[in-house]
Amino acid sequence: MGVTVRFARGDDAEAIAGVHVETWRSAYAGLLPQEVLDGLSWRQQTRRWRRAIRNPEAELGQVFVAEGDGIAGFGSASRETGEITTLYVRPVAQRRGVGRMLFCRMAEFLDGPVSLWVLDGNPAAEFYRRLGGRPGVRATVERWGMELSRTRYCWPAVSGRA
Ligand SMILES: CC(C)(COP(=O)(O)OP(=O)(O)OC[C@H]1O[C@@H](n2cnc3c(N)ncnc32)[C@H](O)[C@@H]1OP(=O)(O)O)[C@@H](O)C(=O)NCCC(=O)NCCS
């Protein structure tokens, strides 16, 4: 599968929302409450991603897509905070280098130190370690009526290294 990474456009919102719902249900089963995963709405996510794509200055930052045979994955990165705010690859496209491509493109976009938060227990932590990320502070956030622990992974500067 030939995959390229590019900035997302408004008309990618539906496909991104589909990948979002599918990937959350697969990756977060057992980590987040099942009713939260069951309640994910493709329509709602389509609206959310359309807003995010139109407002790269907002919290999530610039949205990227990895496109092969359709949208294989997406991510977002904020220059304001140096953070990768989302990174998701469809289960069927995982372990083929798509996550690495998205990560490297977003790190290049950030052009400096990079950080991101990983939910404790998420196997994605190993992916970030393979890409040279170092686990740093841990913190808890309250969401959906529960305390979630997460760890911050950091890269001093990534260009050319991941
Ligand atoms: C984490 C994720 C983005 C990785 O994307 P991917 O396309 O599968 O990863 P890649 O194929 O680019 O893998 C890059 C390297 O990480 C390794 N890797 C990827 N996922 C791994 C895992 N779950 N466990 C161990 N190693 C992993 C790969 O083997 C590869 O290592 P190598 O280059 O030494 O062979 C993807 O699995 C995903 O979307 N997961 C679910 C959602 C999620 O948790 N996102 C992160 C939220 S913080």
What's the confidence (pLDDT) of residue 1? 63
The token pair that represents 9 in the structure block: 């456009």
For ligand 1, atom 2: residue with the closest CA: 99
What is the distance between the alpha carbons of residues 51 and 41, in angstroms, rounded to a whole number? 15
What's the confidence (pLDDT) of residue 158? 67
Torsion of CA 41, 72, 121, 31, to 10 degrees: 20
> How would you classify residue 48: left for phi > 0, otherwise alpha for psi between -120 and 50, otherwise beta?
alpha
In sequence order, what are the residues at sequence separation of 6 or more whose Cβ sits closer than 8 angstroms to the Cβ of residue 16?
Answer: 8, 45, 46, 49, 53, 63, 65, 71, 74
What is the distance between the alpha carbons of residues 83 and 60, in angstroms, rounded to a whole number? 9
Contact 23, 89 (CB under 8 A): yes
Longest dimension (CA), the chain: 42
For ligand 1, atom 19: residue with the closest CA: 127
What's the CA-to-centroid distance between 147 and ligand 1, angstroms? 25
Consecutive 10-residue averages of pLDDT for the chain (162 residues): 93 98 96 96 98 94 96 97 98 97 98 97 97 97 94 83 48
Q: Is the CB of 89 under 6 A from ligand 1?
A: yes
What is the distance between the alpha carbons of residues 25 and 22, in angstroms, rounded to a whole number? 5
Query: Which of ligand 1's atoms lies nearest the C-alpha of 26?
Result: 41
CATH of 4-155, picked from 3.40.50.10860, 3.10.20.30, 3.30.420.40, 3.40.630.30, is 3.40.630.30
Choosing from 92, 98, 127 the residue with most ligand 1 atoms within 8 A of its CB, the one to mutate for a pocket test is 127
Q: Is the CB of 88 under 6 A from ligand 1?
A: yes
